[in-house]
Amino acid sequence: MDRILSEFVDTLREFDCGATFPITTAALARSRGVVEKYQAQNIEFAVHGYYHVDHSQLSLDEQISQLVKARQLFRQRGVTSDGFRCPYLRWNEDTIAAVAATAFQYDSSQGLVWDVAGDLETDTYRQVLQFYGAVSAQAYPALPRIEGDLLRIPYCLPDDESLIDRFHLSPHQPEPNPWLAILDETYRLGELFTLGLHPERIRLCKSWLTDTLRRARTLSPHVWITRLDEAARWWRARLDTRIVVTSQDNAILRLQTEGPDGLAILARGVVCHSPTEIWDGHSRLADGTELTFSSPIRPFIGVPPASDPALSSFLRQQGYIVETASGPGEHAFFLDRPQFGARDERPLLAEIEDGDRPLVRLGRWPHGARSALVVTGDIDALTLWDYGLRALGN
């Protein structure tokens, strides 16, 4: 595994990026030095349970106890542990409560399946998606979401296990590469592609990985290739951005922002009076952290006080500027939704993004990136002993 991790890191270095590897705590406890040295090489290690067991079968108290011990062991070894992913992607509501109670910054246990398998799909693939409790990317956005004190980041499927064990693709044939299709879709939608590749399969899947990273590096606007902890910090920091809109003469508005480094302002369907550049053919990117513009209507989203608070929270997480409104007419979008849930998010994004009404918003990703990509893969064992003990639940 040390040699494999070294090869993985060398591959990532070609594309100037890192990765996030959730590791089972018991495996970390039985190792010495293998994991620690890679933290300085742009690798994040998250917690993958204390033991590699199905967390959905554990009680709340059992999960809290195991996560507390996991965080203590990580600290003793000098390994940062900001995030968590369940073994087998199996979780329940108690899991989310336990992860939040033990002060993790994010969870990445929700499987999100993209419809890219086509003729490759098999019965075993469908069965494993059901086992994972995966949901469809056609219904749910591939985006971080804040739930209480916890940030949840989906895990995209198909991953390497799907390609090798379910689709039976040959590593000696670079085509088809379903990851390229996921990259294209997340890029089109401006979302996050968490590319799952267990480190022990780097040699089998290297061509698929490198082709995907190479494609991502050629796109413009660019793809932010990052780690899960960095994506989580960015999502929270951008949400805390201070926004001030002031009116000037001749119906000119001035938008000023104060937020994290890399904060971007995007404008569509308005006349810009401060420096901007073309972003994607439909929108312009402001040069700096403020924008002066004129518009026949306020290019923001008006929401009445009676709307579901989840609506405003979701909109702000996407970077939309939300203002309280009593009725339609003043804003480019007026959204009166007394009830709003996760299944309403994808249609709402399409309604806002696919139109041509004036819109000024914060970019989802730093420095004007259109989408984001994270390479991630679980480390269940570091030695053959680990594999054997894992079968015993240790």
Residue-range domain boundaries for the chain: 2-219+371-391, 240-296+362-368, 297-357
Contact 371, 193 (CB under 8 A): yes
CATH architecture of the domain with range 2-219+371-391: Alpha-Beta Barrel (3.20)
pLDDT tens for the chain, residues 1 to 394: 899 999 999 999 999 999 999 999 999 998 888 888 899 999 999 999 999 999 999 999 999 999 999 999 999 999 999 999 999 999 999 999 999 999 999 999 999 999 999 999 999 999 999 999 999 999 999 999 999 999 999 999 999 999 999 999 998 887 899 999 999 999 999 999 999 999 999 999 999 999 999 999 999 999 999 999 999 999 999 999 999 999 987 789 999 999 999 999 999 999 999 999 999 989 999 999 999 999 999 999 999 999 999 999 999 999 999 999 999 999 999 999 999 999 999 999 999 998 889 999 999 999 999 999 999 999 998 765 555 556 556 6
Contact 55, 86 (CB under 8 A): yes
- Res 391: pLDDT: 59
pTM for this model (two decimals): 0.95
Q: In angstroms, rounded to a whole number, what is the distance separating the alpha carbons of residues 182 and 390?
A: 32
207-226 burial: b if 16+ Cβ within 10 Å, else e: ebbebbbebbeeeebbbbbb
- Res 248: pLDDT: 83
- Res 69: pLDDT: 98
- Res 173: pLDDT: 80
Instruction: Residue 59: name the closest of 22, 106, 95, 24 by CA.
Output: 95
Q: In angstroms, rounded to a whole number, what is the distance separating the alpha carbons of residues 123 and 167?
A: 10
- Res 388: pLDDT: 59
The SS3 assignment for 3 reads helix
Instruction: Residue 217: name the closest of 13, 15, 375 by CA.
Output: 15
Q: What Cα–Cα distance (Å) separates residue 27 from each residue in 98, 228, 335, 350?
A: 21, 21, 50, 44
- Res 249: pLDDT: 77
